[in-house]
Amino acid sequence: MEATWQLAPFEMGQTQKFPVMSGGKPKYAWHYTPPTGEELTRLLKRWKISKAAAARMVDVSGRTMSRYAAGDEMIPFAFLYVLAAEHTGTLITLGGWREELGIKRK
């Protein structure tokens, strides 16, 4: 049995559930709460990478990356994963990326 994916409206600051298979039934084991625009901007500064360079790394437009950094749109976990792996060598997890990258929530 395959997990079913549904798209739903997503507001910044909400937790997003991702189904994983366990014994043929979907379970929601991990949660991804995306970085705020401020958190993403701090990460890019720490990694000494521009928004334009980050956009090229994950194959989005500079405008899209600017919307992520402004907090207007959620950055997908896969994009955050690629940026973190490239600039820190850290393989982050859905539920623990803030701690793994040393981000303290305000």
- Does the residue 40 lie in any domain? yes
Return d(Cα 56, Cα 44) in angstroms, integer.
13
Q: Is residue 43 part of a domain?
A: yes
Do the domain assignments include residue 31?
no
For residue 68, count other CB atoms closer than 10 A to its CB.
25
- Please say if the pLDDT value at position 78 is more than 60: yes
**pLDDT one-digit tens code per residue, 23-65:** 554 444 457 889 999 999 999 999 999 999 999 999 999 999 9
| The pLDDT value given to residue 94 | 85
**Which among 55, 95, 62 has a CA at the least distance from the CA of 77?**
95
Beta strand 16-22 with 25-32: parallel, antiparallel or unpaired? antiparallel
CATH code for position 88: 1.10.260
Residue tagged 């625009």 (tokens): 37
Tokens of 32: 């991804």
- Whole-number mean pLDDT of the chain? 80
The residue segments making up the domain with residue 55 are 36-100
Q: Is residue 54 one of the residues assigned to a domain?
A: yes
Give the total number of structural domains in the chain: 1
- What does residue 55 show for φ and ψ, rounded to 5 degrees? -60, -45
Please check whether residue 62 lies inside any domain of the structure. Answer: yes
pLDDT band at 16 (very low <50, low <70, confident <90, very high): low
The predicted pLDDT at position 43 comes to 96
Residue 8, pLDDT > 50, answer no
pLDDT bin (cut points 50, 70, 90) of residue 13 is low
Judge contact between 71 and 82, C-beta under 8 A: no
89, amino acid identity: G
Confidence of residue 67 (pLDDT cuts 50, 70, 90): very high
Residue 57 maps to a domain: yes
Q: What is the pLDDT of residue 101?
A: 94
